[in-house]
Amino acid sequence: MTQVKVRLTDAMETSLIMLYGLAMDAHAEPTILGDTMAAQAFEKVDYDFTRLNTRLVSPKDMRAKVAARAKYFDTWTAEFLAAHEQATVLHLGAGLDPRVWRVDPGPEVRWYDIDYPGVVEARGKLFPERGNYQMIASSVTDPEWLEQIPTDRPVLVVAQGLTMYLQPAEGHALFRRITERFPSGALALDTHNWLGVRGVNKMLKRQFGAPLLHWAINDAHELERVNPRLRCADAVSALSPALVDELPPGLAPRGSKLFCQVVQLIPTLRNISLFVRYEFDADPA
């Protein structure tokens, strides 16, 4: 098998964490997602994945966290596309996640993966082409890429693992541009609050040499206050006991459900990481 050299820097390198976790899950039994596309890409990558093994994140924990989180966003994506057979999907900061193949949207869905040129170049070597699918090599905060997206369909914006890497002003401007351009749609993203940003930055500094997170969202309604077109439809704690129940038997650490139940009583811990879904309709003005 021809090996593909992947040399990403700074925040781009973290996209390999997702690929690694998805591949570990694909080889496990029972599997959470069974993402064979990720497993095949993982085998092609010429990269020292031992860099991603730390005392803070074991391979088993990485598999569970990555795959379970991805499954949640896959489900939201599938639900949106079931309600809108003709739609546009913007997968922001797609990294090396083969979500489009897992979700496998219908023929009337346009799907765009947007990420830095280095990431898009790696994706082009690791994944095959498919119909109604396009990669856009750009920073998501650059306003120009959005101009090439048609606006004739409802839009789903998936921004898993993105917001925390943006500056707050950049994030607010990005989502404002999207809600101003499209008549209706939904936005699915995850957040870290101040405690989550501080904790993850400590790990990233140890692993990659520098803290990379900037935007702490302490309240799921923050985006509503900045962008009145958005309304929060769902906000689920990443430490919800319900998510523990969805893990395959034996994958959740002993006592994790009790821990998550206790965490729900402490707002700062409950909101350390949230999965949030927003909706927006035509501007009433």
Q: How many domains are there within the chain?
A: 1
pLDDT tens-digit series, residues 115-149: 999 999 999 999 999 999 999 999 999 999 999 99
For 250, which DSSP code? Answer: T
Q: Which residues are within 8 A (CB) of 10 and not within 5 positions of it... i.e. 6 or more apart?
A: 208, 210, 212
Q: Which CATH number goes with the domain that contains 246? A: 3.40.50.150
Q: For position 283, what pLDDT does the model report?
A: 60
Q: For position 95, what pLDDT does the model report?
A: 93
| Amino acid (one-letter) located at 240 | S
Q: Which residues are within 8 A (CB) of 72 and not within 5 positions of it... i.e. 6 or more apart?
A: 236, 243, 275
Spatial distance between the Cα atoms of 64 and 116, rounded to a whole number of angstroms: 27
pTM for this prediction: 0.93
Q: For position 56, what pLDDT does the model report?
A: 42
In a domain, 222, yes or no: yes
Beta carbons of 174 and 166 less than 8 angstroms apart: yes
Compute CA distances 48 → 5, 20, 171, 180, 235, whole Å. Answer: 10, 11, 32, 42, 36
Spatial distance between the Cα atoms of 209 and 203, rounded to a whole number of angstroms: 9
Q: Which residues are within 8 A (CB) of 168 and not within 5 positions of it... i.e. 6 or more apart?
A: 214, 215
In a domain, 285, yes or no: no
Beta carbons of 182 and 151 less than 8 angstroms apart: yes
- The neighbour count for residue 194, using CB atoms within 10 Å, is 13
Residues of the chain with pLDDT under 70: 1, 9, 51-61, 282-285
In a domain, 271, yes or no: yes
In a domain, 183, yes or no: yes
Q: For position 252, what pLDDT does the model report?
A: 74
Residue 218, domain extent: 4-280
